A and B are shown apart, each in its own frame.
Chain A
Amino acid sequence: SQLAEENSWALSVHEGESVTVNCSYKTSITALQWYRQKSGKGPAQLILIRSNEREKRNGRLRATLDTSSQSSSLSITATRCEDTAVYFCATDAGSNAKLTFGKGTKLSVKS
């Protein structure tokens, strides 16, 4: 079974709007990471949030973590066309470096 998964397959917004991608996971974790993958490229990390943190920000990005409900969210404000990508959450249990990625949410930002 998936250890991490995003809750929406695809989202579409207009430039300037805000959007939130949600993720749920099924085991206790050391940390949760959000990655963005643009078409034909390798993923790039956006935010890492540790299990003892509740919120982390990086510019227009804000990630939250709720360990009691085993869920996380990534919010993007003032979206731009270049935010169009697939967003993955990834978790690890702290052992053997295995990072488990969710299925991904495809975000389209339209002008």
Chain B
Amino acid sequence: AQTIHQWPVAEIKAVGSPLSLGCTIKGKSSPNLYWYWQATGGTLQQLFYSITVGQVESVVQLNLSASRPKDDQFILSTEKLLLSHSGFYLCAWSTDWGYAEQFFGPGTRLTVL
């Protein structure tokens, strides 16, 4: 069975500080990977997707970057946090392109003060 793990569970950071969030998928080789951001009470907005190691596509610009250093790992980061970065960050994976079901991780709650 496939499992998806996100770390940390929650972060409280100061404006202007750096950030790194991680996601690991076990039990599935070469998954498509995705990062989403969700404001409190809001919808999910896709930020990045990756179909292979080393390749990441940006969907929206939010002063964030993403990398896929290993087949099963997806990293979201920024060098300088903004207040607007607060929210719930979700990693997801799918087996196929396009309309395939996406499987979401438990998420990381980020509070920027």
B107 in complex: contacting residue of A42, A99, A100, A104, CB < 8 Å? A42
Q: Which of A66-94 contact B (CB under 8 A)?
A: 88, 90, 92, 94
Please, which residues of chain B bring their CB within 8 A of the CB of A101? 43-45
A30 near B104: Cβ-Cβ < 8 Å: no
Interface size class of A (residues with CB under 8 A): 20 to 34
- What's the Cα separation between A88 and B92 when bound, in Å? 16
> With a CB–CB cut-off of 8 A, which chain A residues contact B107?
40-42
With contact pairs A33-B99, A97-B98, A103-B42 given, residues A44 and B49 touching in the complex (Cβ less than 8 Å)? no
Pairs across A and B, CB under 8 Å, 7 listed: A42-B107, A43-B44, A48-B101, A90-B44, A98-B46, A99-B34, A102-B43
Task: Give the contacts of B74-111 with A (CB-CB under 8 A).
Answer: 90, 92, 94, 97-99, 101-107, 109
Indicate if A31 sits at the interface (CB-CB under 8 A).
yes
Majority DSSP secondary structure for residues of B touching A:
strand
A94 and B96 CA atoms in complex are apart in Å by 11
- Alpha-carbon distance A50/B96, docked complex (angstroms): 15
Greatest chain B CB density within 10 A among A42, A50, A98, A102 is at A42
B43 with A94: CB separation less than 8 A? no
Contacts of B90 in A (CB 8 A): 42-43
Residues of A within 8 A of B (CB): 30-31, 33, 40-45, 48, 50, 88, 90, 92, 94-104
Q: How far is the CA of A98 from the CA of B32 in the complex (A)?
A: 11
Q: Which residues of A are found within 8 Å of B109, using beta-carbon distances? A: 40
Please name the 4 residue pairs, one residue from A and one from B, whose CB atoms are nearest each other, closest first: A42-B104, A31-B99, A101-B44, A30-B99
Q: B45-76, CB under 8 A of A: which get 1 and which 0?
A: 11001010000010100000000000000000
| B contact residues around A96 at 8 Å (CB) | 49, 57
B99 and A104 contacting across the interface, CB-CB below 8 Å? no
Residue contact B98 to A33, C-beta cutoff 8 Å: no
